[in-house]
Structure 1
Amino acid sequence: MPSISRRTFLQTAAASAAILPFARSANADPLGLPIGCQTWPVRQLIAKDFPGTLKQLSAAGFKSIELCSPVGYATMGFGGLQKYSGADLRKVINDAGLTTVSSHFSLDELRKDQPARIAWAKEVGLTQMLVASLGGPKNPTADDVKRAADEYNKIGERAHAAGITQGLHNEDFECSTVDGKRVYDMLFELLDPSYVKFQFQVSNIQYGFDAADYFTRYPGRFISMHAQGWSATQKKIVPIGQDSLDWKRIFTAAKTAGIQNYFVEMDLPLMQASVPYLKQLQV
């Protein structure tokens, strides 16, 4: 299976793109969870005007955001957020009518100074710290996977001791195989469920990773998901609700998985177009 990255297929809109507001709906959101979005697709806007971007996201109907670390993602549009203290950053987010409990961090920054990153996370009010990938070799061996899992178990144990849930996304390394077995599946066996949870990339259905199947097979192992619509006929990412996926099935299985939050993650027009469907979806 070829290695992939959400960075590869998530096309960002031009920095000048405007987010059109949607009217608030009285209907409950899926599972009663707030509609969230990952901030990676709006990184160019964040680099120019963080408070303004947050207000636009709130006006579009999002209620929560997932951050990317100003340290680990400094060269990718988030470095300017280092000017805020953790408490000030939380205030800017809350002032825009949003909440945040989750952020992505680079594995490298956790290796270098995890205590400092945990301290920052707690100041912001985060309860979840994620990494996109364990970053192993392109063609790993079983020993490579075990070494990566052993290291991440230690990272997860330290986070757990600090009251933080450590999570793992599924990107390049996790989507590779060893002797025909997915590394992702191997990690469910190697990572300690007491210390490490998982975050699922729904659009990986294009590579055979079915969200509802994983949620059902590994109950209690997930904390969140990145949500994208996927058209099986067009073979591309499309707005949620205008796609081929059975979202009622996905969210129903998410109850078993232990999903605590979800974040829409697509380019801006697609994120906007997904909000009305999510507002009316009853699960």
Structure 2
Amino acid sequence: MPTLSRDREGAGTPTNCSTANPDRKGGVSSDANRDREGAGTPTNRSTANPDRKGGVSVDPNPNPQPAHNSTPTDSTQNHPMPNHTRRNFLGALAGTAAALQAEPLGMPAGFQVFPIREALAKDFPGTLRQMAEIGYKTTEMCSPPGYVSSGFGPLVSMSAATMKKTIQDAGLRCESCHYGAKELKENLDERIAFAKELGLKQMILSSFGLPQTATLDDWKKAADGLNPIGEKMQKAGIQCGFHNHNGEFKELGGVLIYDELMRRLDPKLVKMQFQVAVVSIGFQAATYMEKYPGRILSLHLADWDSATKKSVAVGKGSVDWKQLFAKARKGGVKNYFVEVNMDAMQESYPFLRSLKV
């Protein structure tokens, strides 16, 4: 999510994945300014065209999986393979399938829903199926109650069980979701309960919602306040995370805000989700994964064309993805989510699929 100004949030408002007014240029949607909930109606740059129109619909009839009932046979014998031969055959077959499905770090490619939120709100199951058809296998949601003004209103009434089933029926799974600061402060128990039923492994605070004029002390106070939230999530079996924007990569009094946050946040209670798009302002994700091993849980992927100064699909810009994923492997990254518009998501997946790290 290249954020050019997501740090300019209104205090206490939900953010990122997040919340409102993406300002990505060049065909790739940004989560910049998404934190300014209620600042206006965000525009969706997604080009998805699901067939269904109107409100959210849940497909009760997922496509059935084909059965595999045949027993492999030895080509030189007229009888079923011995058990050990059959095991070898199936093992080799599984290895071949894994190689064909290889994605960076051996992790399934995921996508963030914010750039396609308008299509998602009109046809939740159809848009998810469209993403699965591209090849994506996981999705990262945004908390509908926290992002009503960003276009997630039609999903607010959907139960966690229905949402989970709809995602699974599309051939996807969801293990991560973004939240705004206000809802985590005021409705934490409710959000944790929903997250557990949805099957989340991590809950990500997308922004502190601090104004652009925030002091370093303001950032310190916000970080200190996230630790007890992270502790409560951890007791529920869910990892708390924090997602950066461009704003964390400016200095106040000679101190880089991101480094100060890393000093204040408990490394066990709060992990980081790193937005690779800060490459647009000169910061490399690989540098921080090396600097803070074990503390960066997740990545948001987008690329940057330094010649045109535009955000582009993954693999189409200046990010050294081999280096980044090599550092991610050592740094303990557990998942990653592409966050660009639909066209760029379609372009990004083949690159990730072919990337050898």
Query: Do Structure 1 and Structure 2 share a fold, with TM-score over 0.5?
Result: yes
Q: Distance in 2 between matches of 1:81 and 1:273?
A: 28
Amino acid at match of 1:226: H
In the other structure, the counterpart of 1:89 is 163
| Greater displacement, 94-103 / 132-141 | 132-141
Deviations 1:79-114 (A, max 9, x none): 222222111110100000001100001111111110
Change (3 A) 1:269 1:66: same
> Residue in 2 aligned with 1:232?
306
**Paired position in structure 2 for 1:140:** 214
- Rounded Cα–Cα distance in structure 1 between residues aligned with 2:313 and 2:236: 37
Whether the 8 Å CA contact 2:176–2:200 is kept in 1: the answer is yes
Distance 1:125 1:16, change over 3 A: closer
Q: What SS does the aligned partner of 1:72 have?
A: helix
Query: What is the CA-CA distance between 1:140 and the residue it aligns to?
Result: 2.8
Alignment root-mean-square deviation, CA = 2.0
Contact 1:160 1:166 in 2 (8 A): yes
- Tell me which moved more, 82-91 or 116-125: 82-91
Give the deviation of 1:18 after TM superposition: 6.6
Q: CA deviation at 1:233?
A: 1.6
Structure 1: runs of 5+ lacking an equivalent:
none
The correspondence for 1:266, drawn from 330, 340, 345, is: 340
Amino acid at match of 1:279: R
Please list, as runs of the form range in 1=range in 2, the aligned pairs for 1:1-283 lying within 5 A after superposition. Answer: 4-5=5-6, 7-9=22-24, 10=29, 12-14=44-46, 17=49, 26-171=100-245, 173-283=247-357
Q: Distance in 2 between matches of 1:173 and 1:230?
A: 18
Name the structure with the higher helix share. 1
Residue 282 of structure 1: CA displacement?
A: 1.4
Question: Could you state the TM-score of these two structures normalised by the residue count of structure 1?
Answer: 0.92
- Structure 2 unaligned residues grouped into runs of 5+: 7-15, 17-21, 31-43, 52-97
Contact 1:153 1:195 in 2 (8 A): yes
How far, CA to CA, are the matches of 1:196 and 1:109 in structure 2?
Answer: 17
Asked if the contact 1:140–1:178 (Cα under 8 Å) also holds between the matched residues in 2, the reply is: no
For 2:188 and 2:352, locate their aligned partners in 1 and report how far apart those are by CA, in whole Å. 35
The 1:27–1:126 alpha-carbon spacing in structure 2 relative to 1, beyond 3 Å, is closer
CA–CA distance in 2 between the matches of 1:235 and 1:133?
Answer: 25
Which of these two proteins has the greater Rg computed from alpha carbons?
Answer: 2
Residue 50 of structure 2 contacts residue 119 of structure 2 at CA under 8 Å; is this kept in 1? no
Deviations 1:1-36 (A, max 9, x none): x972273222542555479xxxx9814101000010
Kept in 2: contact 1:37–1:265 (CA 8 A)? yes
Separation (CA, whole Å) in 2 of partners of 1:16 and 1:194:
38
CA distance in 1, matches of 2:198, 2:287: 34
- Percent identity (aligned): 44
The amino acid that maps onto 1:218 is Y
Spell out structure 1 runs of 4+ moving beyond 6 A: none
Code of the aligned partner of 1:4: S
Partner Cα separation in structure 1 for residue 230 and residue 311 of structure 2: 32
Counterpart Cα distance in 2 of 1:130 and 1:150: 16
Task: Supply the distance in 1 between the matched residues of 2:211 and 2:319 (Cα, whole angstroms).
Answer: 31
The structure-2 alpha-carbon separation of the partners of 1:205 and 1:14, relative to structure 1 and needing over 3 Å to count, comes to closer
Question: What is the TM-score when the length of structure 2 is the normalising length?
Answer: 0.74
Count of residue correspondences: 278
Q: Which stretch has the larger CA shift, 242-251 or 173-182? A: 173-182
Task: Show CA shifts across 1:154-179 (max 9, x none).
Answer: 11111111111110011254234311
Alpha carbons of 1:265 and 1:58: their partners in 2 closer, same or farther (altered >3 Å)?
Answer: same
Shift of 1:180: 2.6
Q: 2:64: which partner in 1?
A: none
